[in-house]
Structure 1
C-alpha cells in the first residue's frame, strides 16, 4: 500500500470535498438555528430550563436568550464569508 487507508466510504478526495461541503452548510445553519432558539425561548417565558440556567441571575446578560443571541452572533462568520464571496463574484 502506498497511502493512508480509511475505512470510511468515499474517504478519498471526493470524501474530503463532501465533508467540507457538509461542514460549510452546518456552519451556515448554526446562526439561524440559535436565533430561532432565542426567539422561542423568549416567547416561552421561562420553564424548567430557564430556572436551571438562570437561577440567581439578576443581570441582563444572564439566562438562555442572551446566550443564544451571543452564540448566533459568534457563528455569523460563515454568513459574512458567504456574503463576501458572493459580493466578490458579482463585482468581477
Structure 2
C-alpha cells in the first residue's frame, strides 16, 4: 500500500525540480549552465525523469 502511494510521488517531484531549475538563476545551480531552454543541464534531465515516472499515474487513471 505504501509503495503504491510512494510511486506516485516521483513524477510530480521531478516536475517541480525541473521548474525550480528552469526558474533559478544559472549561477545558483551551476555556473556552466547555458540556459533553461538548452538541451544541456538539469531542466531536460528532470523533465525526462518526470516523463519516465508517469506510469503509476497512467495506471491510476486507467
Superposed pair shares fold, TM > 0.5: yes
More contact order relative to length (CA 8 Å, sep ≥ 6): 2
Runs of 4+ in 1 over 4 A off after TM superposition: none
Aligned with 2:24 (options 44, 47, 57): 44
Aligned with 2:11 (options 26, 31, 42): 31
Normalising by the residue count of structure 2, what TM-score does the alignment of the two structures yield?
0.80
Aligned with 1:66 (options 37, 44, 51): 44
SS in 2 for 1:51: coil
Q: In structure 2, list runs of 5 or more residues that go unmatched.
A: none
User: RMSD of the alignment, in Å?
Assistant: 1.8
Contact kept, 8 Å, 2:21 with 2:29, in 1: the verdict is no
